[in-house]
Amino acid sequence: MATHQRLSRADFHRSDNVSEQVQVCVRLRPAVGTGQDQEASCVRRVDSHSLEILNWKNEMESVKYKFDAFYGETATQWDVYTGSVKPVLHHLLKGQNASILAYGPTGAGKTHTMLGNPDQPGVIPRAVRDVLQMTREASEDKCRYSVSMSYLEIYQEKVLDLLTPSLRDLPIREDRNHNILVPDLTQKEITSVADFESHFLPASRKRTVASTQLNQRSSRSHSVLLVLVNRIRDLPTYSHQTAKLCLIDLAGSEDNRRTGNQGLRLKESGAINSSLFVLSKVVDALNQGLPRVPYRDSKLTRLLQDSLGGSAHSLIIANIAPEKKYYFDTLTSLNFAAKSKQIVNKPFTQKVLPQTGSWKPAKPEETESPHNHSEAEKSLSDGKRPCPDFSDGSPEAKRPCLQEGNSQDHPKRSRSGESSSICCLLPLENLNPILAERMLRLEALEKEKALSCTIPLLDTPRKERLNILKLLYETRCELKSVQEKQLKIEAQTLENKGTPFPQASKPRKQATVLPLQQVHIPVNNQQEEENVIKKQKNKGRKKKILDLDSENKAPSKCEEEINQDLAKTKLLSLLNSGSMKDLMGLHYIGKKKAELIVNWRENYGSFQKVQDLGKIYGISAKQVDAFIMANVCKFQKPL
């Protein structure tokens, strides 16, 4: 029988676990001016991969740089896109992340490269159009794609949502799979280029820009467009795969002596230069292999953690200006591009297989046989659906099976509704035929195993069974202590007399010791009678002390475990059936986590155990442990 494996959100599929370097291309914008003195060109093209720049120490010499691609002054938007950007996009269909980053000084043409104009569209509109086209062509009957977008800017170290403008500084988080995300960022689903433009164009107008002495529309913030490509596969097993495309337009570094920045413009340029300095530190740390990479020193580098040294296919487009007055800015940009080319990323495919039912891995002995197959087909043709046993106290165990006559078919199962069938909860008419056939085979094996079991199931609810086990444990402990006391008294009697007990003419009947009863031992000699009298005199004095000791007596280990199990059962029932208000009444559960729990119940059904909260996207394992410890104490009854 085919194995149904239960996987959580932490399961990865690394199909292309190959390291690759960050790709870097350089684009030289056309020169502006007369071409004399400060406006003369200091950069010259060598070939399609190389360029050279004058040596500032000796103008008779030049410094040569080699990159993955070099686009000169005559290169068009189409050349840059088809030569460097488009080859990166096909990784999105494999579930791998991609990142396109425009870097350079102010006035070098970064925004033109990324956005362009209606006559010459830039990287962003062309990439979104091709991503939508690829997902339409790749969609099949068994596999479907969806594309969504988010747009933000980093202005003065604040992450601001451009699709839903507000002054709120959004947090940047890292989930347990080391993916960088912005939890409260607005997400819009797009199905066509018109949908994209209806969201992107109004949002791009809200980006912070200002006029300086070097640029009429200088970007005062770093903008990041996130395009999420989701792939959902129905057969043979349900799987969800997400890939992220980051399109980043960085603000340019500025020399305030040339830009003439004052007041607010000066504060903005300080924040821009500071974040770009941290970006340079991150690149140096990655190249040197330092144990600590300062991603958290800036919001920009924290957001680019996937792109630099992470799991994305990254491309950096370094924009430079040819004029001599921008010489040091150009030299700095080329040095940054050369260092970035040495960074190594490790892209991989991440597949998420959420748990949609209570499937269990098949055991080695549970193999497919003609008998099992015929039994499953017979049950399907008769319209009877066998009900598997849920004896672990799960919420499904409390649902009555909707099938008539199942108590007759399974005489050893409970008649109180503790056993319920997955087929009863999930109608076979709504499932795929292959999945339905596998379900019937699994239930046929469970039915055969239950019929062969010689120990009947208790026909009592879980709470009553726990009470019975508790009482049984206490009775055995009391009986053992009474027997030990009796043995001590007999040994003491033998010591005092020095002779064994006299043999009675008639066989002595052995007294039956019942639990929770006082055991009366006959007193045969005078010394023992005096001891009993003394004990009775001290009994009144010690009564209060004994009562206090019994009240303060710590509960036994079994009592604590049973009490914790009862508390977890109540907590699990509240998680599966509680309203938003009830969930928010628990410790460590706010409005956001309550909504996540309700959405999970609607999509995947009830929780099997409290630890299943860790499968919800956004709730870590440490948070689940803290939640259980706090709320179990809340639901525990004092023993």
Looking from the CA of 464 toward its CB, the CA atoms found within 13 Å total 5
Highest mean pLDDT among 138-147, 287-296, 354-363: 287-296
Tell me the longest C-alpha to C-alpha distance in the chain. Answer: 135
CATH of the domain at 593: 1.10.150.280
Enumerate the β-bridge partners of residue 230: 146, 242
> Which range of residues forms the domain containing residue 344?
20-352
How does pLDDT run across 97-153, given as a tens digit for each residue? Answer: 999 999 998 888 898 999 998 889 999 999 999 999 999 988 776 788 899 999 999
How does pLDDT run across 363-384, given as a tens digit for each residue? Answer: 333 333 334 444 434 443 444 4
Residues 110 and 102 sit within 8 Å (Cβ to Cβ): yes
Across the range 217-235, mean pLDDT stands at 86
Say if 391 falls within a structural domain: no
Total of domains in the chain? 2
Across the range 276-281, mean pLDDT stands at 93
Across the range 441-448, mean pLDDT stands at 70
Among 323, 352, 381, residue at a domain's last position: 352
**Cα angle, residue 446 at apex, residues 443 and 450 outer, rounded to 5°:** 140
Say if 200 falls within a structural domain: yes
Is the pTM higher than 0.95?
A: no
Say if 440 falls within a structural domain: no
Say if 541 falls within a structural domain: no
**Cα angle, residue 622 at apex, residues 621 and 623 outer, rounded to 5°:** 90
Say if 285 falls within a structural domain: yes
Say if 196 falls within a structural domain: yes
Say if 40 falls within a structural domain: yes
The residue behind tokens 């992450």 is 159
Q: Which residues line the annotated binding site?
A: 104-111
CATH of the domain at 186: 3.40.850.10
Look over the chain and give the mean of its residue pLDDT values, rounded to a whole number: 75
Among 352, 381, 415, residue at a domain's last position: 352
What integer pLDDT is reported at residue 508 of this predicted model? 52
What integer pLDDT is reported at residue 222 of this predicted model? 92
Q: Which residues line the annotated binding site for ATP?
A: 104-111
What integer pLDDT is reported at residue 447 of this predicted model? 67
Check pLDDT > 60 for residue 12: no
Say if 542 falls within a structural domain: no
> Confidence class of residue 477 from pLDDT cuts 50, 70 and 90?
confident
Across the range 157-178, mean pLDDT stands at 89
Among 326, 352, 378, residue at a domain's last position: 352
| Greater model confidence, 66 or 629 | 66
Least confident of 49-63, 344-358, 559-573: 344-358
Residues 317 and 102 sit within 8 Å (Cβ to Cβ): yes
Euclidean distance between CA atoms 45 and 423, whole angstroms: 70
> Confidence class of residue 237 from pLDDT cuts 50, 70 and 90?
low
What integer pLDDT is reported at residue 542 of this predicted model? 55
